[in-house]
Amino acid sequence: MASTPLSSIMCTPTRVAVVGAGRVGSTLAQRIAEKNLADVVLLDVIQGWPQGVALDLMEARGVERHDRQIIGTNDYADTADASIVVITAGKPRTPGMSRDDLLKINARIVVEAAKNAIAHSPNAILIIVTNPLDVMTYLAWEATGIPPQRVLGMAGILDSSRFETFIAMELGCSIADISATVLGSHGDLMVPIPRFSTVRGIPITELLDAATIERLVARTRNGGAEIVELMQTGGAFFAPASSVCSMIEAILLNQSRLMPVAAYVQGEYNLDDVFIGVPCWIHCGGVRQVLSLNLTDAELEALQVSANAVRENIQRAKEMLA
Ligand SMILES: NC(=O)c1ccc[n+]([C@@H]2O[C@H](COP(=O)([O-])OP(=O)(O)OC[C@H]3O[C@@H](n4cnc5c(N)ncnc54)[C@H](O)[C@@H]3O)[C@@H](O)[C@H]2O)c1
Ligand SMILES: O=C(O)C[C@H](O)C(=O)O
């Protein structure tokens, strides 16, 4: 049977590079591929590991019925021309550690990874996951020198999702109606905002007493540590991967979503020159705008305390790197 000649037009599929093919990175690759969002290049320092994970994910395509390519590599050249680079490389904490205890070991890893990845994908949007999150996001921005709107840290979506889950569990209701807001740094000084946390638009302050809300806030603040204590060898990865994936979706589909992310603030909330969790409009270029909410004096003060702690750790990290 005669067939028409093959078109010579080459299509370049959208690709996301994920640096660090551990628990968060590999779960994220699975989410991106199964949602059909983009091709994925998984990079890790361990020889063979990202290649094995990628092949395993590819072999699921017959069942999952998606056509995304997943490549595993140890070479940054293979990540070239990614639209988004996600950095999950580095150590997770173990029981008894705070996220800040990872500062020394992860700072150099993140700086090197960000520089290498952006050298091959100079127009990419950079999403940082490695802890301590807010500090690592600042270091990655400074190391790459790309506009701050293109650098985002993932934490607020995860912390908000945890708060939403605990609210739904307490009320015995569907998560579908719940929307919670958690701002500030990704640590003990995070700032959950109950009056902006609602069930179908009704603030939880109308539905739960103060002691119950405080209990749910405390569990949210301790959400990461609760899982580290249970797992013993590392931290959460399913909910973190889902959270990063929602940011990737907002960017690739240019959704203009309002999301709490660690973004660079330049005067908003009386904060300057720091990356911290604030509500942002997210679109194809990264952060379109930081939304300035009317916060109470107490909420503003809590954000200041949170930002001051991040600043101190940025300074410590810079001294270590020097
Ligand atoms: N921001 C958040 O909300 C959030 C959520 C979960 C995890 N995390 C953080 O993400 C990081 C990864 O967590 P995980 O559970 O996936 O850890 P993991 O140990 O499972 O994976 C980390 C991977 O990074 C790789 N790696 C180490 N150095 C590297 C380098 N120089 N270049 C490339 N790859 C390198 C390791 O080989 C490993 O495969 C940790 O710092 C963790 O604390 C943050
Ligand atoms: O708690 C951790 O160390 C991992 C992550 O930051 C989390 O919140 O799950």
Strand ranges inside 119-218, DSSP E: 125-128, 151-153, 178-179, 182-183, 191-192, 198-199, 202-203
Whether residue 92 has its Cβ less than 6 Å from ligand 1: yes
pLDDT tens digit sequence for 77-93: 999 999 999 999 999 99
Strand partners, 84: 16, 125
Output the CA 69–ligand 2 centroid distance in Å. 29
Q: Is 131 annotated as a binding residue?
A: yes
Q: Which ligand is nearest to the CA of 131?
A: 1
Judge: domain 13-153, CATH 3.40.50.150. no
Spatial neighbors of 149 by CB under 8 A, at least 6 apart, are 264, 285, 286, 287, 288
Q: Is 23 annotated as a binding residue?
A: yes
Judge: domain 156-321, CATH 3.60.15.10. no
Q: Name which residue sits closest to atom 8 of ligand 2, judged by CA.
A: 224
The per-residue pLDDT for 9 is: 76
Whether residue 105 has its Cβ less than 6 Å from ligand 1: no
Q: Is 72 annotated as a binding residue?
A: no
Q: Which ligand is nearest to the CA of 242?
A: 1
Q: How far apart are CA 200 and CA 1, in angstroms?
A: 60
Q: What lines the ligand 2 site, CB under 6 Å?
A: 92-93, 99, 131, 158, 186, 223-225, 227-228, 235-236, 240
Per domain, the residue ranges of the chain are 13-153, 156-321
Spatial neighbors of 80 by CB under 8 A, at least 6 apart, are 120, 121
Collapsing DSSP to helix, strand or coil, 7 comes out as coil
Regions in the chain scoring below 50 on pLDDT: none
Among 172, 176, 155, which residue's Cα sits nearest to residue 236?
155
Q: How far apart are CA 69 and CA 196, in angstroms?
A: 40
Its pTM stands at 0.97
Output the CA 319–ligand 1 centroid distance in Å. 23
From 66, 120, 186, 283, active-site residue = 186
Which residue bears the tokens 């590599």? 73
ipTM above 0.85, yes or no: yes
186 is catalytic: yes
Output the CA 204–ligand 1 centroid distance in Å. 34
Output the CA 129–ligand 2 centroid distance in Å. 10
Q: Which ligand is nearest to the CA of 157?
A: 1
The helix (H) or strand (E) run that includes residue 136 is: helix 133-144
Q: Is 222 annotated as a binding residue?
A: no
The per-residue pLDDT for 1 is: 66
The per-residue pLDDT for 155 is: 98
